[in-house]
Structure 1
Amino acid sequence: YIYPTELYFKQNLDHFDFTINATFTQRYFVSEQYWTKMDGPIFFYTGNEGDIELFIKNTGLMWDIAPMFKAMVVFAEHRYYGKSKPFGNLKPSTKTIKEFSYLTAEQALADFAILVKHIKSTDSKAKNSPVVVFGGSYGGMLSAWFRLKYPHIVTGAIAASAPVLYFPSTVKCSQYNEAVTNNFLSVQNGETCVANIRNVWKTMNETAKKPGGLKLLGEIFHLCSAINSSTAVESFIKDIFGNMAMVDYPYANNFLSNIPAWPVNKTCQHLSEPNLQGLDLLQAMHSAIGVYQNYTGSVKCYNVKTTETSKLSTTLWNYMTCGAMVMPFCANGVTDMFPVKNWTQESFDKSCFKKYGIKSRPEWALTDFGGSKAVEAGNIVFTNGLLDPWHVGGVPEMKSESVVSILMWGAAHHLDLRHANDADPSSVVEARKTQVKHIAKWISSTQERLRPSTAHRV
C-alpha cells in the first residue's frame, strides 16, 4: 500500500464544557488509494496510547481488506500522544493537574466523532459512507465504546484484544500474571522454565545484599546505569515477560521490540536446565531477557526504566490508569511465576495522589461504557488470543446476530489485526473471515438504508 497522507485538524480541548474555547491540533492519516468515491466505506482506526504511526505499520488487516471493500483508510491519533499534544511535552504531575484533566477516553472519543464528521463534510462523496472502526488493546476498547456512544456515526466495530472488563470489580488482580505464567508453562520445557523464573527473584535479592552485589547485578545484566536495589531489575524483567507474552507471535516482528518468532519458547530455551542456581541462574536470565531486549545483538546496555518502544508513552498511560482506566495487578508467586506483590484500591489511590494529585474512579468506565453490557450496542466483533494475558479482561466467547466474541487459540495480542501471514494459526484465519463477513453485512445494511428511494409517488 501507499503510505497515507498526514493531516491535521483543530479540535476543542474540552468537548463538554462550553465555557472553554481552547483548542489543539490532532494528527491523522488518510489513504484514498482503494476508495470508491461514491459513499464507499471508511475504515477508521481509533488511536491508542502512542504515536499513531506505530499502529499504521502494525494494523495490516485494514490494508489487507481495504481493496476488497474499496474503502478509505483513516488512522486517528489519540489526544496527548504522538504529535497531538495540547501542551507540548509537558508531563503529568501534581503541578499539571489542570492541563491533563482533558486526557480521558470520553474526550478522545469525542475527538474521533468530530473528525469523522469533518472528513465526511469536506468531501460530498463521503457524505453517506458507512464507517467501520478498528482498534487493538486500549484502541480496541475505544472502538467498541465508539460504536456504543456514537451509533449514528459508527456502523460497526472490530475490537481486538479489548479488555473492556479489566477493572477492579470485574477481574481478580491475579489473573493477568497467571495468564502470563500459563503462556510460559505451555511451551517446551515450560515447567522447568517457570521454576527457574520463580527462583531468580530470591537469587537477585540475596545477591544484592552481598558486598558489591548491586554492582555485580549491573554487570551480569549489562545495565546502562548503577542501581540502588534489585527492585529495578526485578520490575524490568517482569515487564519484559508480560510484553513477551503479549507479542508471542508465530513470526519475527518489531512491534514493541525486535523479536523472533515464538519469543516465549525462545526465552525458555535459555532456562530449560533444571534447578539453576546462583550466578548460573542470573546469567541464564540475562540470556533469556535478551530474546526481547537484544535479539539483534545491537544493544550495548539495558535501560531498566523502560522495556517498550519510544513510540508508546507509559508515562501518559500510567496517568490514565490513575483516573478511570484502573487496572489491578498483583502476584502471589504460587499461581504465577512472579514475586509477591499486593494490590489494594487504597494503596493504589495513595500512589496516584502522590504522583499526580488525583484520585481514581475505578467504577466509572464500567458505569459510563457498560462493561459487558456494551455488547448491547450491536455490530461489534470482539477477538481475544488465548496466549495474550489481556484476554482475561475481554468479553467471553459469545455469538449473536449482531455481536460476536471470538477466542483464538495460539494467538497473542491482537494478532488478527496484523497483516495476514502464512504462519498465522487457523484460529486467526477463521477469525478474520468472521470479521470480513460482519463488515460486509454492516456496510451493505447501511448503504441500503441510506440509498435514495427509487419508488415513484402515486
Structure 2
Amino acid sequence: MRASTCLPALLLAACQTTIALNNAYARSFNILAELGLNPDGSPFERPSFDGPAFNAEDASSADFTIASVAEGSAPAPAENISAEYVSLPIDHFDPSKKLGTFNNRYWASSSSYKPGGPVFIYDVGEANASSNALFRIQNSTSFFKQIVDQYNGIGIVWEHRFYGNSTPGGPVNIDTPAESFRYLNTEQSLADVAAFASQFSLKNRGINYTLTPEKTPWVFVGGSYPGMRAAFMREKYPSTIYASYASSAPVQASVDQSFYFEPVWRGMQQYGFGNCSRDIQAATRYIDGVFDDQDSAAADELKIMFLGKGAEKNSHATFADALTTIFATWQSYGMEGGNTGLRKLCDWIETGTNTSSVQVHNQKNMPKAVQRWASYPYFATNVNTYLETNCSGKADVVGDCDLDRKFTDPAMISWTWQYCTQWGYFQSANLGPRQLVSKYNSLVHQKDICHRQFPDAPRDIFPEWPAVDKTNRKFGGWDIRPSNTYWSNGEFDPWRTLSPASAEPFAPKVVVSQDLPKCGAEQKDLFGYVIPNAQHCYDFRTTGVTVPGGAVSRGYFTGALSSWLECWKPNGQSGYPGKPWKA
C-alpha cells in the first residue's frame, strides 16, 4: 500500500512503499523487480549470500533515475488492445444529488476466451494504470495473463477512480481543490466495479455470450490496497465477485503504523545484515541525541553533512523523514535494489572507509555509521528523486533542499487523500529495541503531511486524523473472512503487519491454513499462505526478484479456484456452454 504517508503509484498494485516518498515509485519498483530490473533499469543480479563489496568506482557518478516501466514491459502482443471507458455515477449511493457521471478507464483481453470462461479483473489500485495494463494482460511472464489463459477467461485491468484518466472533473494536480475529492473513497470505488460488471460486454469483438456476473463467474485479483479491495468486493458484493485473490492486503485501518519497520528489522537479521541494522540504529539514535540537545549549530551541521548546504533550513521532523528513504525499496527488493537498495548502503557502512568531509564540532563522539551513511554518494540523489527536491549533497554547494513540499504527482495526491481520510498507515518511528527510524518522524509529523497537502479541506470530508475506527466498522478490519477468498503475505512484508495474517504481538492470533475451504464457506481460520523470505506481493512475480514460495502461493490459489468454480452455476442454466478450461 504501498505506503504510508508519503510514499506507500506508478504501479502499491504491484504493491506499495513507505515514508515521504512518492507512491508512484513504489509501483514502479514492484514492476521493475518483476521484470528482473533494479529501480534504475539496470539488470538485477542475484548476489551471493555475503553479497558483493561496494564498488567505489560506481559511486563516482551518483546519477539515479527511475527507469520507465514501459521500457522493460513491451510485450509481443497477441491482440491489439486499447483503453476503453465505461460511464459510472460519481455518487452511487444518493442519486437524488444528480451529480452526473464520469468515465472510468479499463483494458480487456479476450485472446484466450472460450464461452463459459471466467472474467478476471486485475485491480491496479492507487495508480495510473496505463503503465501496468498491457504488461498484465499481454506479457507471457505476467501471472495474471497466465491464469486468464489457464481458465480460458477474459482479462480486465481496472483503473481506480481519481487515478490516471478515471478522474471526475478532469486531471488531478496540485491545484485541484479539496472539495473535488469528496467522492474519492473506498466505498464508491467498490461500487464502481459492481456497476461496471453489471453492464460489461464484448459483443463488439464478436463475443455474444453474456459476460455479466449472472452468467459468468467473476474473479477479482489484487495486491496491497487492491488486495484489500479483492477481499472487500467478495464481502460486500458476493453476487458480483465469485472468488478473490487478496495478496499482501492490510485490511486493518490504523493511524499508527510505526511497526511497518519491525519486519524490516527482522528481515535484515534473517538475510545476514544484523550488523548493518544495528549500525543504522546507532546512527539514528545519535541523530536523535543531537536534536535532543537543542544545539542548533550541531543540528545544522548534521543536516548539511547528509544532504548539503541548504538542508539546515528543514525541521528535525522533515529531515528525519528523509532519512527513512533508505527503506524505500525494501518491500519490492528486500536487501537488493542496486544503488538505491539497502545492500549497497550496508556494504558502504560496513566496509567503506569514506567519511563525510563536513566537520562537526563533536565528531569525535560520532559513530562511524553516521559518517559513512552521510557520505554514501547515492543518498542525497535518492532523497531528491523521492521527495521532489534538489539537495546538493555537498557542504560547499547550496541546494534547493526543501523537504516539506506538497506532492505534485497526481497519484500521490489522490492516495494522500485516501490514507489521510480513511486508512491512516502513518509510518512513524518504531521506538524500542528494533528502532530504525528517528523519533522525530512522529505521528504528529505524519499527520502534518496530510494537512500540508490539503490545508483548506473541509472538516466534514477531511478529519483532523484519519477516521480509522469508522473504516474498520465499515469493512471489518482484521476480522473480515469472506468465502471463496485466498490470502497471501510475505514473511517480511511491512504491510503484513495490518493483514489478518499479521505476526505482530498486538494483532489477533489467526491460524493461517492451506486447507481448502468448501465453496461459499466462511471460517475463522484464514485460508492463505505466508511466503518464506519474501516481502510485498512476491507471489505476483514469475520472473525477476522471486522466491520459491511465490509459485507455491499461486498454486494454492489456482487449486482453490478450480475447486470453487466446480460449484459455480449461472442464474438459469439455459445456454450455458460449460467449463471450457476442463475440456
Is TM > 0.5 for Structure 1 vs Structure 2? yes
Identity of aligned residues (%): 19
2:368 to 262, 276, 283: 276
Which residue type is aligned with residue 192 of structure 2? D
Cα separation, partners in 2 of 1:269 and 1:232, compared to 1, 3 Å = same
1:339 to 438, 442, 454: 438
| Alignment of 1:319 onto 2:412 | no
| Cα shift readout 1:158-182 (whole Å, capped 9, x = no counterpart) | 01100012435xxx64321222222
Specify the SS of the correspondent of 2:120: strand
Partners of 1:293 and 1:347 in 2: how far apart? 22
Which residue type is aligned with residue 238 of structure 1? T
Q: Given that residues 159 and 166 in structure 2 are in contact (C-alpha distance below 8 angstroms), is that contact kept between their aligned partners in structure 1?
A: yes
- Once the two structures are TM-superposed, the CA of residue 100 in structure 1 deviates from its matched residue by 1.3
Residue 267 of structure 2 corresponds to which residue in structure 1? 183
- Once the two structures are TM-superposed, the CA of residue 156 in structure 1 deviates from its matched residue by 0.4
Partners of 2:348 and 2:297 in 1: how far apart? 28
Q: Given that residues 282 and 369 in structure 2 are in contact (C-alpha distance below 8 angstroms), is that contact kept between their aligned partners in structure 1?
A: no
Q: Given that residues 253 and 477 in structure 2 are in contact (C-alpha distance below 8 angstroms), is that contact kept between their aligned partners in structure 1?
A: no
Residue 96 of structure 2 corresponds to which residue in structure 1? 19
- Once the two structures are TM-superposed, the CA of residue 448 in structure 1 deviates from its matched residue by 7.5
- Once the two structures are TM-superposed, the CA of residue 339 in structure 1 deviates from its matched residue by 1.0
Cα separation, partners in 2 of 1:381 and 1:306, compared to 1, 3 Å = farther
- Once the two structures are TM-superposed, the CA of residue 96 in structure 1 deviates from its matched residue by 3.6
| Cα shift readout 1:134-155 (whole Å, capped 9, x = no counterpart) | 1111111011101111111111
Residue 329 of structure 2 corresponds to which residue in structure 1? 244
2:225 to 138, 145, 162: 138
Cα separation, partners in 2 of 1:330 and 1:229, compared to 1, 3 Å = closer
- Once the two structures are TM-superposed, the CA of residue 211 in structure 1 deviates from its matched residue by 5.7
| Cα shift readout 1:277-325 (whole Å, capped 9, x = no counterpart) | 55434113x546878988xxxx997987599x99772222121122222
Residue 485 of structure 2 corresponds to which residue in structure 1? 380
Correspondence 1:103-142 to 2 at 5 A: 103-120=184-201, 124-125=208-209, 126-127=211-212, 128-142=215-229
Residue 356 of structure 1 corresponds to which residue in structure 2? 457
Residue 34 of structure 1 corresponds to which residue in structure 2? 112
Which residue type is aligned with residue 407 of structure 1? V
Which residue type is aligned with residue 372 of structure 2? D
Q: Given that residues 183 and 387 in structure 1 are in contact (C-alpha distance below 8 angstroms), is that contact kept between their aligned partners in structure 2?
A: yes
Q: What CA RMSD, in Å, does the superposition of the two structures yield over aligned residues?
A: 4.0
Partners of 1:411 and 1:262 in 2: how far apart? 19
Residue 10 of structure 1 corresponds to which residue in structure 2? 87
TM (norm. structure 1) is 0.80
- Once the two structures are TM-superposed, the CA of residue 440 in structure 1 deviates from its matched residue by 1.8
Q: Given that residues 204 and 282 in structure 1 are in contact (C-alpha distance below 8 angstroms), is that contact kept between their aligned partners in structure 2?
A: no
| Cα shift readout 1:357-399 (whole Å, capped 9, x = no counterpart) | 3214221222112223321x20001101012101111112234
- Once the two structures are TM-superposed, the CA of residue 102 in structure 1 deviates from its matched residue by 0.3
Q: Which runs of 5+ in 2 are unaligned?
A: 1-74, 137-141, 353-366, 394-400, 502-511, 519-525, 577-583
Query: Higher mean Cα deviation, 52-61 or 136-145?
Result: 52-61
Partners of 1:324 and 1:278 in 2: how far apart? 37
Residue 163 of structure 1 corresponds to which residue in structure 2? 250
Correspondence 1:344-423 to 2 at 5 A: 351=451, 356-357=457-458, 358-359=462-463, 360-375=466-481, 377-396=482-501, 397-399=512-514, 401-402=517-518, 404-418=527-541, 420-421=542-543
Cα separation, partners in 2 of 1:111 and 1:414, compared to 1, 3 Å = same
Q: Given that residues 193 and 272 in structure 1 are in contact (C-alpha distance below 8 angstroms), is that contact kept between their aligned partners in structure 2?
A: no
| Alignment of 1:439 onto 2:561 | yes
Partners of 1:99 and 1:421 in 2: how far apart? 40
Partners of 2:121 and 2:313 in 1: how far apart? 44
Which residue type is aligned with residue 395 of structure 1? P
1:428 to 550, 555, 563: 550
Partners of 2:172 and 2:545 in 1: how far apart? 42
Partners of 1:92 and 1:100 in 2: how far apart? 12
- Once the two structures are TM-superposed, the CA of residue 194 in structure 1 deviates from its matched residue by 3.4
Residue 256 of structure 1 corresponds to which residue in structure 2? none
TM (norm. structure 2) is 0.64
How many residues get paired? 434
- Once the two structures are TM-superposed, the CA of residue 326 in structure 1 deviates from its matched residue by 2.6
Partners of 2:322 and 2:445 in 1: how far apart? 24
Q: Given that residues 214 and 229 in structure 1 are in contact (C-alpha distance below 8 angstroms), is that contact kept between their aligned partners in structure 2?
A: no
